Amino acid sequence: MVEKLFIQGNEACALGAIKAGCRFFAGYPITPSTEVAENLARLLPKYGGSFVQMEDEISSMGAVIGASWGGSKAMTATSGPGISLMQENLGYAFMTETPLVIVNVQRGSPSTGQPTMASQSDMMQVRWGSHGDYEPIALSPSSVQEYFDFTIKAFNLSEKYRVPVFLMTEESIGHMREKISIPKSVDLVARKEPTMSPDEFLPFKNRKNATNPMPAFGDGYKVHVSGLTHNEIGYPDTNNPKTHAVLVKRLCNKILKNREKITSVKSEFTDDADVVVVCYGAPVRSVTTAVKEAREEGIKAGYLKINTPWPFPDDDVKAVCESAKDIIVPEMNLGQMVHEVERVFAGDAEVHLLSKIGGELPKPSEVLNAIKSVGGN
Amino acid sequence: MIYIDPDLCKGCLLCVNTCNAHVFTVAKKANKKGVFLPIPTNENACLNCGECELLCPDQAILIDIEKHWWMKKDNNYAFNPNFSKIKG
Amino acid sequence: MVDEIDEYTIDDDFEKPKRAKAPFIKYLREDRLPHIFCPGCGNGTIINTFFKGMEEANIDFENVAMVSGIGCSSRIPGYIKCDSLHTTHGRALSFATGLKVSNPDLDVVVFTGDGDCASIGGNHLIHAARRNINLTVICINNNIYGMTGGQISPTSPKGSYGSTAPYGNRDKPFHLAELVAAAGATYVARWTTVQVESAAKSIEKGLKNKGFSFIEIVSQCPTYFGRKNKMKTPVKMMDHIKNSTIYINNTKLMSEHELADKIVVGEFVDKSAPEFTDNLQELSKENYGDKTLRRSAFLKNFDENKE
């Protein structure tokens, strides 16, 4: 049985979190993500979960990490300024391999910026914001249905790879109302429990391609979880260059080596396209219309929608856009993911940025004009 | 018997200062680690109060008081029953 | 007259009898000993004090989880054989809040220092106290930032020297126990490393108390605080702490001026109030029909009918 609802994006996210098994939410009110917190405050007590409103974003992130080690699937929702505050503890979550989900409903920035307007200005912040080398996973929905689906996907990915997963959406999707269908049951990835005895168990074992199982506190494994450079047992070993190299390389490789399994893209009309629009998030909605209109006018245009901005789907983007001479990247910032696209093509195709800031989505006509100006002749 | 673990003791000498019964003396020479260990030279004066055991920051002191009437012979751990409830 | 012994020799082959371990070593990660604390540091004493209080309170050690931030005192959980989170600077209480709410069955203990909980984590401290969440916080106050090399902290006494106060500290120090008491904690006490038995008693009471328990233990830092303030040895520092201690009941008739250099010790608050996780459990029972789900991340299917 499929349930049909007409709801707001942030509400769909809250429903998705409940479906995905999230039973802990800690957050701090911030426009435009507050509805996620409000809905979970209402829903979580009905499903045996806990909702805590913390004193700030720093402690929200801390509480979410604590709850994750306590054995709950945990999440928080915030916007750009909140992510800035969370970066410190996010680095800790990457270092200690704590699964959790962060919903980032992006708004106009820098600083307080435009609280009620959409933007995509945090794409690089979630990638490089905390100090050190790490590889995050980020998902970018472009409709309310996807916002719901990707919330479940985010929890599954975070449990599978033991990594914080960002759900990068925009104010426009967060506050948009659309019809969505909610499936009766969804596939969930449960956290992997250690099977060996506590004496043999190495919580941070250096495995080549697999993620370590994660016990909850109170299970008797007596794990020491530290943000310091730690060895396989979890003890701090800060002065040994080898320990640090092994640890940080493993943290990055567990994502990079599984890049094909994590990333997903969607493309249309790209087989023979001269112009390909590479897009993610809310602008996808305008791009689909514009590309269809361009095809009607006889321009060989196509589009590629990136569902997972991080890790960046290098191979998928390159394969799909093989025939293209021009690439257009519409973004609601002054150019962030365009650098990744340029890096992938490295001169094989000309990459054009279609940037629009101020809080409005790029209109289909603007995308169409851009397509015409680069490849319409 | 009063045991001092030479591996753990860092020679802060808080035990020497705290002991009301003046059980400890400071060694004249440092050991291999360069630590002037406290030596329980006046062990007979020990009141078994357990203060040094509790105060020792390096968990290096054990007061083993098998000689007392309340300790059972088959008990491996011979702690002051007034101080600790640890069994086996 | 006591015989003098020139050297205390231990043979390398000498096998130490099993019982030659100090009583609380069995709770510690023996492979990590000796710990990194300087000779005479109060942190080691407070480890013993905690275990004494824990045993007296009849708390199951298997059920204890520890959380700490950054600093000398926050290294303690790393030496204790229990589940422990060594987190970011000042945020220990927020991690502990999440852990306790996620699994209220755990006895969560937070080890923190004066810089950790009073300076960078001040907001988290007062809010955790306001919520009255069932945590036991042991704040080791050594009046200085030890790990970074002796900078003055928010609790450094007026006139004391530190590497960032070469001409003496001119700021008024924080009184943590009074601050937390005012914020709404249900058990607050302050002791020093000299009164270990009293501190152990307070830790026992704090562990038993259902609510936010804050035990401030004034400790010595001979390496930095002592060296910069003409008290180079641990013994001298202990004497100084001992001499400036005054029991809370004796302070009622004393003026603020008289109390300026004193360390007031004793129990500040011992009351009962509704507890944060209890309230959440009640809410869950009203809406869900049962206590909150434990270990939900390991479940593959959720009971959807329960609503």
CA angle A307–A310–A311, rounded 5-degree value? 110
Q: Which residue of C lies nearest to A158 if distances are taken between CA atoms?
A: C297
Average pLDDT over residues C96-122: 95
CA–CA distance, A78 with A68 (Å, rounded to integer): 18
Ranges of chain B with pLDDT below 50: 67-72, 76-78, 86-88
A157 touches C at CB < 8 Å:
no
Q: Contact B54/C44, CB-based, under 8 Å?
A: no
- In DSSP notation, A120-138 reads -TTHHHHHH-SSS----EE
Q: What's the total number of domains in chain C?
A: 1
Res A171: pLDDT: 94
Tens of pLDDT, residue by residue over A170-212, are 999 999 999 999 998 899 999 999 999 998 999 999 987 778 9
A92 touches C at CB < 8 Å:
yes
Q: Which residue of C lies nearest to B8 if distances are taken between CA atoms?
A: C34
Tens of pLDDT, residue by residue over A277-316, are 999 999 999 999 999 999 999 999 999 999 999 999 999 9
Q: Contact C298/A190, CB-based, under 8 Å?
A: yes
Tens of pLDDT, residue by residue over A216-249, are 999 999 999 999 999 999 999 999 999 999 999 9
Q: Is residue C11 part of a domain?
A: no
Q: Contact B54/C37, CB-based, under 8 Å?
A: no
Q: Contact A63/C78, CB-based, under 8 Å?
A: no
Tens of pLDDT, residue by residue over C18-42, are 446 788 999 999 988 889 999 999 9
pLDDT confidence bin for A64, thresholds 50/70/90 = very high
Q: Which residue of B lies nearest to C25 if distances are taken between CA atoms?
A: B59
Whether the full predicted model's pTM is greater than 0.80, yes or no, is yes
Residue percentage of chain B with pLDDT more than 90: 35
Q: Contact C34/B7, CB-based, under 8 Å?
A: yes
Res B66: pLDDT: 52
Tens of pLDDT, residue by residue over A25-39, are 999 999 999 999 999
* Residue range(s) defining the domain that contains residue C135: 33-269
Name the β-bridge partners of C213. Answer: C136, C187
Among the listed residues A207, A164, A206, A133, the one whose alpha carbon sits nearest the alpha carbon of residue A64: A164
Res C117: pLDDT: 92
Report how many Cβ contacts below 8 Å link chain A to chain C. Answer: 190
Q: Contact B28/C7, CB-based, under 8 Å?
A: yes
Res B65: pLDDT: 58
Tokens of B36: 């002037």
A58 touches C at CB < 8 Å:
yes
Res A8: pLDDT: 95
Map tokens 């890096």 to a residue: A343
The answer to whether residue A134 scores a pLDDT higher than 90 is yes
**Half-sphere CA count of C221, side-chain side, radius 13 A:** 28
A40 touches C at CB < 8 Å:
no
Domains of chain B: 2-63 (3.30.70.20)
Res C184: pLDDT: 94
Tokens of A8: 């707001």
Q: Contact A216/C86, CB-based, under 8 Å?
A: no
Res C303: pLDDT: 63
Q: Which residue of C lies nearest to B58 if distances are taken between CA atoms?
A: C44
CA–CA distance, A262 with C231 (Å, rounded to integer): 59
User: CA of A23, closest CA in chain C: separation in Å?
Assistant: 7
CA angle C264–C270–C275, rounded 5-degree value? 130
Tens of pLDDT, residue by residue over C158-198, are 999 999 999 999 999 999 999 999 999 999 999 999 999 99
Domains of chain A: 2-183 (3.40.50.970), 266-375 (3.40.50.920)
Q: Which residue of A lies nearest to C296 if distances are taken between CA atoms?
A: A72
Q: Contact C20/B79, CB-based, under 8 Å?
A: no
pLDDT confidence bin for A348, thresholds 50/70/90 = confident
